[in-house]
Structure 1
């Protein structure tokens, strides 16, 4: 069993290995940095794997004004360039959409955007989209490559994938959902109909 001294030493040795700042950048600025290769995807990131439905849903979320998870970048000390630690799929989707290479599809809320590219959107909403800011954690030069990989790993593997029923229960409410919850807790029903 570890002594308190060992616990304190271990925590202190692994604490504050990452320095960072939090910034808000407009989507248009993020795209410009990506286009200029000042913002790039490192080799440890997975390939661009989102399908068009996932990309479209992400773009729809921005148009709806929904909160978007933090992006994580690392600023290189020598060059000042920014490595994408977490958020490569989101950033590449933004760039693809703003470059008119993503045709929105399978949208459930903003159905009028299905089949549209960025240039098809009314100008007012193009401006709103490009000036919408996303929150970014910028890791500083004391953050080693191993620590960046650790952050990437933890952000992408520590959550459990939701079961389909959890998605449904988290997305919908009302009398029918309440009825289903009550049925799932009814012992007689569970005995008569074991599913």
Structure 2
């Protein structure tokens, strides 16, 4: 079954390339639109980031009874599941989500010290450090809830935190893979040119 064609992408090419494309299409009894569509579909299907089946499992738990901050601070753990096996031994950086409500932060997420990572643009809106890293696919941190009313309704902030953490971690994995592919392509190019 063919996919529904409900979107349009416009590309700019030189007039020489356009003429050659049209000539080749005539020879193969095809249309330029069909050829470009095939190229795009093949690119998407064969790209390493397609169909990785990444999932992020998150677990929220209470601090020990002895901790005086347990009434507003909660443990948060994340684990990356799926994807490529080479992610098993890598440190993958990502940005922690920020949860500002106008000028205030009703709750926030922070990393434990060994899951913090400094890299370009890892400072948040209000100057807070938001650089983080997965180590062997895992991350640990905490949730800080600053509004007492929210503590009575944990679903209001837990759902938001889980969704945003998943987005940020998967975005970090995509960036890591794209950088790895680019690095490998550069190394291959330099080897070929020598």
**Does the TM-score normalized on the shorter chain lie above 0.5?**
no
TM interval, shorter chain, is under 0.3
- Structure with the larger RCO, 1 or 2 (CA within 8 Å, 6+ apart): 1
Higher fraction of strand: 2
